[in-house]
Amino acid sequence: MRKWKIAGVSAAALVVASIFVVPMLLGARAVPGQGDEPARAAQLPIGQVMLYSSGVGFFQREGSVEGDARVDLSFPVSDINDLIKSMVLRDLDGGHVSAVSYDSNAPLDRTLKSFAIDMSRNPGFAEILNQARGERVEVALANAASGALTGTIVGVEKQKQVVNKDVNEVQMLNLWCADGMRGIKLAEVQKVRFLNATMDAEVKKALETLALSHDTQKKAVSLKFAGEGKRRVKVGYVIENPIWKTSYRLVLSPKEQEKPYLQGWAVVENPSDEDWKDVRMVLVSGRPISFQMDLYTPLYVQRPIVVPELFQGLRPVAYSGRMDEVPLAYALDQISDMDEGGQLQQEGKSRFKLKNSIDKRSVPQAKLAGGGPGRDGWADESRRKQKEKLDLGQSVSSVATAARLGDFFQYTIDRPVSLPRQKSALLPIIGKDVEATRVSIYNEAVQAKFPLLGLRFKNTSGMHLMQGPVTVFEGSAYAGDARVMDLQPNEERLVSYAMDLGTEVNAVPSQENGRILTIKAVAGIIETKVKNRQLKTYTIKNRNDAERTLLVEHPVNTAFTLVGSKPKETASDVHRFEVKVPAAATKVLAVTEEREDQVTYSVTTSNDEQVRWLISQPLASQKVKAGLQKAIELRWAKSKTTTEIAEMKRQLASILEDQTRMRANVKELPTGSDIHKRLLKKFDEQETQIEKYRTDIKKAEGVEHTQDVAFRDYVAAFSAE
């Protein structure tokens, strides 16, 4: 027989059944005789639970049915979309699935209007009877002596009647009976029964719909299986479930040669309204892509209104109208960011919980003062007990078998699990000796003065370790808390759990910027190669009575290159330098980073001070210095000419300004007067000066142009090393 494997569960031959999903309203149990053939109801308890670390769970219900059977299930409204998307049904022994039906999510008013009697507006007695016009009914009157009347409803009308000289309005039910039309006061009607069975069923369904609408949190799903004899059936589906989590205990032995013991617990939760009893449980460590899509809400597309030809007349034909797209709301499953390199991000480091635990290797044991032999003996026994290794494996053993599931990793719980509704549980899944080396880890951004006690942890458990908290024990005493990210088998990762108060680090930065390495001139451009250097000195003082292996984390600076000391390893954000510091000793680690930059200067645009600074550099050759000196002289000569031209122009402007003043005075003076003659003579002398200045300025501007051309041509051709 051919085997199929669905969601990791082997099953017998999968009967391919045609599943017709027919949305219709059902109660908690399907009611025979209302359009559905009678079927024996069966129960399918949950037999297997597979929980994923992506926020979903695969649940499989298992049981047996006999003949034509119906299975009624109830789900929260929020799970219906996942149910429609993922449900897998199997009738394993020759039967088949005939139909799957579930409560519709159509608006209540729309559903109520679909029945023969519209209950959407809370109709009264008269309105219900008016809606049933033409239906045969049996009417019982308050006056029992009159007996029951049988007839067809014509309608309900209002009539005015005079009672004790008062005009009152009464409602009359008009019936067409065997002996003709009869009018009955509606107030005298005690009971009305529909004689049409279909009409009676429609009213009952409308009332049932109203009753089901009161529980908006639950929806009924009915599964129908068809076949003969007793058969095994399985129903599987994926719905939202809290992620399963892990927490660890790591016991460090006082004896260095003994391996630490790692115990792992899985935290699982049953948030449903159904107890899990003796279920097979599988915990999958992986992040399959999972999303939600709204398949449950009915979607209606707008259609154009077409006017019949009879009424259209001469209006132009509209062949189509706008059809607004109805969006489908969906959300991608969020996958938490993980640092694949195994390092905490800077924000995570700042949120580290640092426990001020006292390292037994760095602080001497305190002695009891004033105690007698009995107290001293008690203290010794207490210290001995604390140094003993906490043997967690003696009392609790792992109940899970680890194996790969494609690209994922799964823990199969070896024993059936029972978990009541709305309860959580801790399940032991790991109990192994692992490899770990004691180190102290210093990162200035985490703690500027003290390193952290930690471990170079290697996952030799043979299992994938999910991220989670780690409680560390030193012997039998609590030592601190750590956090581990996802670890593949044989992968190494650093973990830290306490502050190392016996070791102190002083980090001092310094820098040496702008040291010139080479100078050369290329077509009037001075190219210099400059070395920038950053130096950070870590002074490490070990006050402990044992050697410390310190890992110094130095930030990665992509703009600089490490020189000198080589790191033990490099992560995405830090270099790690390993330093072994003997007991009661001090060591210095110097981390040097360099960067070479090329800085250029244009001889044409640089000022004289910059050029003289370049000439003064020891690395500049004599040819470069001589060339730069000549460039300064050429530019100085041009600058001198420019200054002379500016002075002549200033003096010329002064004369022209003085002439303007004298012209105004000449107009006011008597012709032939001594002052008038003197001003005219001065005008004549100034005109001569003006002509001379203009001639000299023009000549100087020619010299300036020649000097500028000579300077630029020289600079453009200047190259030297």
Main-chain dihedrals φ then ψ at residue 221, nearest 5 degrees? -125, 130
Q: Are 405 and 284 in contact (CB under 8 A)?
A: yes
Is the pLDDT confidence value at 395 over 70? no
Tell me, what's the pLDDT at 320? 29
Q: What is the DSSP string of 185-208?
A: EGGGEEEEEES-HHHHHHHHHHHH
Is the pLDDT confidence value at 243 over 80? yes
Q: What is the mean pLDDT of residues 580-590?
A: 95
Match 């929020």 to its residue by tokens.
Answer: 78
User: 527-563 burial by CB neighbour count: b if 16+ within 10 A, else e?
Assistant: ebeeebbbbbebebebebeeebebbbbbeeeeeeebe
pLDDT tens digits along 17-48: 323 232 222 233 333 333 444 455 667 899 99
The separation between the first and the last C-alpha atoms of the chain, rounded to the nearest angstrom, is: 87
- Residue 483: partners with Cβ closer than 8 Å, 6 or more residues away: 344, 467, 468, 469, 470, 495
Tell me, what's the pLDDT at 304? 73
Is the pLDDT confidence value at 11 over 70? no
Helices (H), 329-407: 346-350, 373-387
Cβ-based burial of 639 (10 A; exposed 0-12, middle 13-18, buried ≥19): middle
Tell me, what's the pLDDT at 664? 82
Collapsed DSSP state (helix, strand, coil) of residue 419: strand
pLDDT tens digits along 85-143: 899 999 888 888 888 887 766 666 777 777 888 887 888 888 888 888 989 999 888 87
Neighbours of 80 (CB within 10 A): 20
Which amino acid, residue 410?
Q
Tell me, what's the pLDDT at 41? 60
Tell me, what's the pLDDT at 552? 95
pLDDT tens digits along 160-170: 887 777 778 88
Confidence of residue 554 (pLDDT cuts 50, 70, 90): very high
Q: What is the mean pLDDT of residues 259-284?
A: 91
Main-chain dihedrals φ then ψ at residue 696, nearest 5 degrees? -65, -40
Q: Are 28 and 72 in contact (CB under 8 A)?
A: yes
Kindly state the percentage of the chain with pLDDT values over 70: 78
Consecutive H or E run containing 99? strand 96-102
Cβ-based burial of 448 (10 A; exposed 0-12, middle 13-18, buried ≥19): exposed
Tell me, what's the pLDDT at 455? 92
Q: What is the mean pLDDT of residues 683-709?
A: 90
As a dihedral over the C-alpha atoms of residue 701, residue 703, residue 707, residue 713, rounded to 10 degrees, the angle is 90
Q: At what angle do helices 608-615 and 622-668 cross, to 10 degrees?
A: 160
Tell me, what's the pLDDT at 376? 56
Is the pLDDT confidence value at 537 over 90? yes
Q: Are 222 and 94 in contact (CB under 8 A)?
A: no
pLDDT tens digits along 496-514: 999 999 999 999 998 887 7
Picking from 442, 691, 390, 438, the residue whose alpha carbon sits closest to that of residue 551 is 442
User: If you average pLDDT over every residue of the chain, what do you get?
Assistant: 78
Strands 189-194 vs 136-141: parallel, antiparallel or unpaired: antiparallel
Picking from 609, 588, 591, 610, the residue whose alpha carbon sits closest to that of residue 599 is 610
Neighbours of 14 (CB within 10 A): 17
Kindly state the percentage of the chain with pLDDT values over 90: 27
* Half-sphere exposure at residue 547, Cβ-oriented, CA atoms within 13 angstroms: 6
Q: What is the mean pLDDT of residues 284-309?
A: 70
Confidence of residue 250 (pLDDT cuts 50, 70, 90): very high
Tell me, what's the pLDDT at 237? 92
pLDDT tens digits along 61-77: 999 998 998 888 888 88
The secondary structure of residue 253, as a DSSP letter, is -
Residue 40 pairs with which residues in a beta bridge? 69
Is the pLDDT confidence value at 579 over 90? yes
The secondary structure of residue 21, as a DSSP letter, is B
- Chain centroid to CA 313: 60
Confidence of residue 677 (pLDDT cuts 50, 70, 90): confident
pLDDT tens digits along 212-238: 666 556 777 888 899 899 999 999 999
Tell me, what's the pLDDT at 307? 52
Residue 222 pairs with which residues in a beta bridge? 72, 101
240 token code pair: 């939202």
Which amino acid, residue 595?
R
Tell me, what's the pLDDT at 451? 92
Q: pTM of this prediction?
A: 0.59
Is the pLDDT confidence value at 439 over 90? yes
Confidence of residue 388 (pLDDT cuts 50, 70, 90): low
Tell me, what's the pLDDT at 407? 66
Is the pLDDT confidence value at 351 over 90? no
Main-chain dihedrals φ then ψ at residue 157, nearest 5 degrees? -130, 165
Picking from 174, 17, 193, the residue whose alpha carbon sits closest to that of residue 100 is 17
Tell me, what's the pLDDT at 213? 66
Is the pLDDT confidence value at 446 over 60? yes
Collapsed DSSP state (helix, strand, coil) of residue 560: coil
Q: How many Å apart are CA 442 and CA 1, to the nearest integer?
A: 62
Q: How many Å apart are CA 520 and CA 614, to the nearest integer?
A: 10
Which amino acid, residue 556?
V
Tell me, what's the pLDDT at 217? 64
Q: What is the mean pLDDT of residues 691-713?
A: 91
Higher pLDDT, 13 or 670: 670
Confidence of residue 592 (pLDDT cuts 50, 70, 90): very high
